[in-house]
Amino acid sequence: AADCGVTNAYSTPGDLGADRWVAMIAAHRLSDRAVCVVDCGTAVTVDVVTAAGRHRGGLILPGVTMLCRSLQVNTAGIELQDDVPASGILALGTRAGVEHGARILLASAIDRIVSELAEQGGEMPDVILTGGDAEQLLPLLGITVQHVPGLVLQGLAIMSEGRS
C-alpha cells in the first residue's frame, strides 16, 4: 500500500496503525532525506522511511506512563505518591525515580536505535520527534532531533489535500 509518496513495508499493511502511517507521510514531506519518526505517546513508536519514501519498518515500545504503571502494578512497595523531582541523573524519591528512570530508559533506547540505523544505513537519518511525551525526552537525548508537535495532524492535512 502506498499513499502520498510513502510505501508501507508491512506484509499486512492494515496492521500498521493509522497514526504511525500519517506521521510517516508528514515526516517524509518535511525532509528530502531518510527520516526516523519517533512518536512519544502511550507507546513510543519508531518508524523509518527512506528518502525515496519506502517504509523500512519500525518498533513499538511502552511509553513513559506505561513503564511507570508497570512498575507500580508489578512491584511491591512502589507507591507513586511522593513528588520530589529528579535532580540531575538521580532522583530523591520513589515517584521521581520511577518517572525519571522511564524517561532515561526511553531516551537511551531512542539514541541506540538511531545509532544502529546510522551504522546499518551508512548515514544518520533525520530524526523527527513528536507526541505528548516528546518534551520530557528531548533534554535526555544524545542525538540531534527535530521536535515537531502535531506531526500526525500534519499528516492528516497532507492526506486530505491529496483527496480534495
Q: For residue 15, report the phi and psi dihedrals to the nearest 5 degrees.
A: -75, -20
Question: What strands, in cross-sheet order, belong to the sheet with 43-49?
Answer: 55-62, 43-49, 35-40, 126-130, 146-147
Active-site residue identified among 3, 15, 19, 39: 19
Please state the separation of Cα 138 from the chain's center in Å: 11
* Catalytic status, residue 82: no
The catalytic residue positions are 19
